[in-house]
Amino acid sequence: MNDLQGREIDYLRISLIDRCNLRCVYCMPEEGIEMIPHDEILTFGEIVRICRVMASMGLKKIKLTGGEPLIRKDVTALVRRLKAIEGIEKVTITTNAVLLADMMEDLSDAGVDAINISLDTMDKDLYARITRRDAFDKVMEGIEAALKHPEINLKINCVPMGLPEQDLIDVAELARKHKIHVRYIEMMPIGLGKQFHFVNEQEILEQLEEKYGKAEIYKGKLGNGPSHYYSFEGFEGKIGFISAISHKFCSQCNRVRLTSQGFLKTCLQYNTGIDLKMPLRKGALDEELKALITEAVNGKPISHQFLEHEIGNENNLGMSQIGG
Ligand code: SAM
Ligand code: SF4
C-alpha cells in the first residue's frame, strides 16, 4: 500500500497495552496514569483481523510494543497467530526485557523474528533512577536468555538523556562482546520526552571512535526502519543510530501505528489517522475496513515538524500509548 507521497507502507507497530512495569522518567509519570478499561482495548482477535486485512493490502512487518507488551497475557499466542497470516514476513517485539527471561523459550517457539530491548545504562543504580524500578538484574537475565537464541535478531535501544552520569560507551560494550546491535535513539519531544534534550549522534560517534578506533559505515540492512549502522573492529554486533530529529527520515517512512484502543495513527507528531475499533465492533466488512485504512494512509503527513514547533493537530498521546 502506497501513500500519496509514493511511500510504501508495509510496517505496522502495534501498542498492545498502555500499562508498563517500569516508569521511565522520559516516558511515564510515577503516578496519575489513567487505567484504560479492558474492554476499550483491542482483543487479540481484533488485532489479528486488522493485520489480516492490512496484509492483503501489502503489510509485511509487524512490531509488538506498548506500554510493555510482555505484560499482556498470552502474548506468545498472538505472535503465533500473526506469524500465520499470509503475507506477514516478520513479527518482532520491543520490550524492556524485565519479563523476558521466563518467556524467551515460548517466544522463540512462537517464531518471533527479532527482539529489541530498551536499556539506557549499564549502571544498576542509574537504571533504577531512570526507570524508577529496581529491575536491572532481571533485564540482564532477559538479555542472557535471548542470547541463547542466535536465530533471533537482537538489538538494544538506548535513549541518551543528556545526563553526564549516563555512560553511553558502556552500553556499546554489549555489541563488542555479543552478537547484539546497540542503537542510540534520539530523544523525541513527545510527552515527558519534551523535558529532555537530545544528544547529537556525532557527539556519541566521536566518543566511540576515541575508544574503539575509526567506525566504518555499514551498508547492509538490519531491520524494519530508519537506523543507520557502523562497524567497529573487534565488535560482534553493529552500532546504530536512529536520529529522527537531527536526520529527519520522513521521506522514507514506511510505517503506521495502531494504539491499544484501535486508533490507526499515521505520524508520531500528529493526531492524524482513523479509529478502527468502532467499525470493527459494529461488524464492518473487510472491504469497509480496507477503505478506512486507505483513507488514513492517504492522510499520512508528509513529515514531522518537531524542530519547527508547528502548531495544529499535534499528537496528544504519550510514548507509552504510541509504542515508540
Ligand atoms: N516498554 C517497551 C520498551 O521500553 O521497549 C516498549 C514501549 S517503549 C515506549 C518503546 C521505546 O520508546 C523504548 O525504547 C523507549 O526508550 C522509547 N522512548 C520512549 N519515550 C521516548 C522519547 N520521548 N523519545 C525517544 N524514544 C522514546
Ligand atoms: Fe515502560 Fe517502555 Fe515507557 Fe519505559 S519506555 S516506561 S519500559 S513503556
Cα–Cα distance for residue pair 292/274, rounded to 1 Å: 7
Q: Which residues pair with 28 in a beta bridge?
A: none
Contacts of 77 (CB under 8 A, 6+ apart): 44, 110
- Over its length of 324 residues, how does the chain's per-residue pLDDT go in tens digits? 988 888 899 999 999 999 999 999 999 999 988 878 999 999 999 999 999 999 999 999 999 999 999 999 999 999 999 999 999 999 999 999 999 999 999 999 999 999 999 999 999 999 999 999 999 999 999 999 999 999 999 999 999 999 999 999 999 999 999 999 999 999 988 889 989 887 889 999 999 999 999 999 998 888 767 789 999 999 999 999 998 777 777 888 899 999 999 999 998 878 889 999 999 999 999 999 999 999 999 988 887 766 655 455 566 678 888 878
Contacts of 53 (CB under 8 A, 6+ apart): 286, 289, 290, 293
Cα–Cα distance for residue pair 208/158, rounded to 1 Å: 14
Decide: 24 in ligand 2 pocket, CB within 6 A. Answer: yes
Which residues form ligand 1's pocket by a CB distance below 6 Å? Answer: 20, 26-27, 65-66, 68, 94-96, 118, 157, 159, 185, 187-188, 190, 193, 319-320, 323-324
Decide: 320 in ligand 2 pocket, CB within 6 A. Answer: yes
**Sign of the dihedral defined by the CA atoms of residues 220, 222, 227, 231, in that order:** negative
Is 168 in contact with 143 (CB distance < 8 Å)? Answer: no
* Distance of CA 318 from the midpoint of ligand 1 (Å): 10
* pTM beyond 0.75: yes
User: Which atom of ligand 2 is closest in space to residue 131's alpha carbon?
Assistant: 4
* Distance of CA 283 from the midpoint of ligand 1 (Å): 34
Q: What's the full length of the chain, in residues?
A: 324
Decide: 82 in ligand 2 pocket, CB within 6 A. Answer: no
**Sign of the dihedral defined by the CA atoms of residues 190, 42, 152, 135, in that order:** positive
Cα–Cα distance for residue pair 286/280, rounded to 1 Å: 9
Indicate which residue's Cα is closest to atom 8 of ligand 2: 67
Antiparallel, parallel or unpaired: β 273-275 and 263-265: antiparallel
Is 146 in contact with 194 (CB distance < 8 Å)? Answer: no
Decide: 67 in ligand 2 pocket, CB within 6 A. Answer: yes
Cα–Cα distance for residue pair 234/217, rounded to 1 Å: 15
DSSP, res 38: G
Crossing angle for the helix pair 124-131 and 136-147, to the nearest 10 degrees: 110
Locus of grid cell 507488551: 69
Is 265 in contact with 297 (CB distance < 8 Å)? Answer: no
* Distance of CA 295 from the midpoint of ligand 2 (Å): 31
Is 321 in contact with 271 (CB distance < 8 Å)? Answer: no
